Amino acid sequence: MTNLKWAARLALPLLLAAPLARADLEVKLSGVDSEERANIEARLTILNYANEDGDDEAEIRRLHRRAEADIRSALEAYGYYGPKVKARLTGKGRNWVAAYQVEPGEPTLLGDIVVEVNGDGREFPALAQAVADSGLRSGRRLRHAAYEGTKAALARAAFDNGFLDARFTAHALRIDPEARRADVELRLETGPRYYFGEVDVQQEGLDPEFVRRYVPIRPGDPFEPVKLLQAQFALSDLGYFGSVEVQPHRERAVDHRVPITITTTPRPPRRYDVSAGYGTDTGARLGLGAEFRRLTQSGHRLRTDLRVSEIKNSIGAGYRIPLGTQAGENLGFATAYTDAKLPGGFSRTYDLAMTLSRTPGEWQRQLYLKHRYEQSLTPDTGLDSTRLLLPGMTLSRGQLDDAIHARLGWSLFTDVHGGLEGALSDVTFLQGRALLRGVLPLGPRGRLLLRSEFGATQVDDFSALPPSERFYAGGDQSVRGYSYQSLGPTDAEGDVLGGEYLSTFSVEAEFRIWGNWGAAVFADAGGVGDDASPELSRGVGAGVRYRAPVGTVQVDLAHPLDGDRRGVRPHIGIRVGL
């Protein structure tokens, strides 16, 4: 019992003193601005401690004693080697203020500058450009970043252009703080330039010449490391290989020619897909697919698909013959049958198509010629059949930071096609469509999604246009809050007929909240009409998001704002990329 009393007497003062050992901290910095201030704030440990809600009094005092050294170190990077710092820590109880008045003083200036390139790369343009872009000039203020950046740029330019033996014979930044002078000496010896040697592609099942045409490396070309990465991407994008490894053998170089070995592992020659799901645009759905890779040693491929849903059923097959020297360039032949329910009717289409896909520059271009036979039932024409021969072209381009879950980027898809009556078509028309999507980051865990779509049709007799060539709006990928293809001109019975012009817009803010789960709010607008400015119907809503490997699963509740529609409509779907 005596021991317990003594323990209590010792513990009581400590417990009473504990609140006094904690403090609130405010840090004030004056006398500097711009880059110098930002660098001090980044290095000032007492400021970082305050931003993290640090409140231990002993630690505050320790960091305050260290603050002057932090400030001096931060300013040296900008050439200030003699700053004056007035530091003061005031306060009592739980409130403390650490104030630092900084006078940077006179900056250190660059004196003698020697940046020299010797060896075979002495006159090489990329190395000369690295020197020109350095910012190292006599009389300018010393910036350590300019020195380190010049050094790194020279080394990178040498390596990127095949000077694999490049090294600095001298690299020095000599500073005299009292004289406020800094001299620079950078001497790079490039050595000889290297070239690509023989390229050995290890693969099976395909014609070696067919595979080699996609490799952007030719024996005798200057050795450029970026081409090793390009070769890896080029072969991976073909879809025939599960893995691609590109290995240069510098140790085996003869006459400065580096042999290259490309090792591949094949994908299975066949792939089968089974999918099932539910979407408000399609209802319950089931998909079966099969892809036959490497039907020939020249990489011919066959793809078959069956899609069954409550709204649309389709079956089709496509045969592709690779062309050119880039993945995705091919000559294709396809056939498909589609049976779709429409407002007040149905559409059954039988398609035969030939496509030529190319990649001129950064654009993906597809020229196509499609023959379609369509049987349909529409409120304005009744039961009808139409034959069409449709020449057309699509252009697409995009830049995304992530193909599945993009936070920054954009994509554009355009299509133009038409038919000519008497030339294997029952109607003359011309139609264009454009879909533009964008995504921007919203803070560290959010993104802003933007979408706009436009379509226009030139036709003398709209009633002669089959349903597959009419525009409709409404649904998961159009205007949420309205059912699939429910927006557009209607007949006297209220059945939607489709229209000649289409305009839709969407803006959505999406935020990840916990793990892969998130939430979104959105506003959509869109409409279909017989003139270029159709009346727009609007919808707003919110939803839940789940970030899955295949894309973002969306479950939305949307409220229509126009017409006689009321209540809230659910929408379920998956978004990939944008």
Spatial contact of 521 and 533, defined as CB atoms under 8 Å apart: no
Per-residue pLDDT tens over the stretch 154-202 = 999 999 999 999 999 999 999 998 899 999 999 999 999 999 999 999 9
Strand blocks (E) in 499-567: 501-514, 517-529, 537-548, 551-560
Burial 76-97 (b: 16+ CB within 10 A, else e): bbbbbbebebeeebeeeeeebe
Q: Identify the H or E element spanning 174.
A: strand 167-176
Provide the pLDDT for residue 275.
Answer: 87
Residue 69 pLDDT > 80, yes or no?
yes
Task: Give the CA distances from residue 318 to residues 291, 332, 445, 543, 557, in Å, rounded to whole numbers and listed in that order.
Answer: 10, 7, 40, 37, 37
The Cβ of residue 37 has, within 10 Å, a number of other Cβ atoms equal to 15
Task: Give SS3 for 474.
Answer: coil
Beta bridge partners of 431: 417, 457
The whole-chain average pLDDT of the chain stands at: 90
Residues near 258 by Cβ (< 8 Å), separated by ≥ 6?
A: 164, 194, 195, 196, 197, 223, 248, 249, 250, 252
Report strand pairing: 345-358 vs 409-419: unpaired
Quick one: 144 exposed, middle or buried, by C-beta within 10 A (0-12, 13-18, 19+)? middle
Per-residue pLDDT tens over the stretch 369-397 = 999 999 998 888 789 899 999 999 999 99
Highest mean pLDDT among 59-63, 335-339, 487-491: 335-339
Residue with tokens 């390139």: 117
Spatial contact of 141 and 79, defined as CB atoms under 8 Å apart: yes
Spatial contact of 228 and 246, defined as CB atoms under 8 Å apart: yes
DSSP string, 526-538: EEEESSSSPPPEE
DSSP string, 436-486: EEEEEEETTTEEEEEEEEEEEEEES-GGGS-GGGSB-B-STTS-TTS-TT-
Mean pLDDT score, 555-565: 89
Mean pLDDT score, 29-33: 89
Nearest to 339 by CA among 316, 376, 312, 315: 312
Report strand pairing: 95-103 vs 24-30: parallel
- In Å, the largest CA–CA distance within the chain is 113
Least confident of 90-94, 141-145, 479-483, 507-511: 90-94
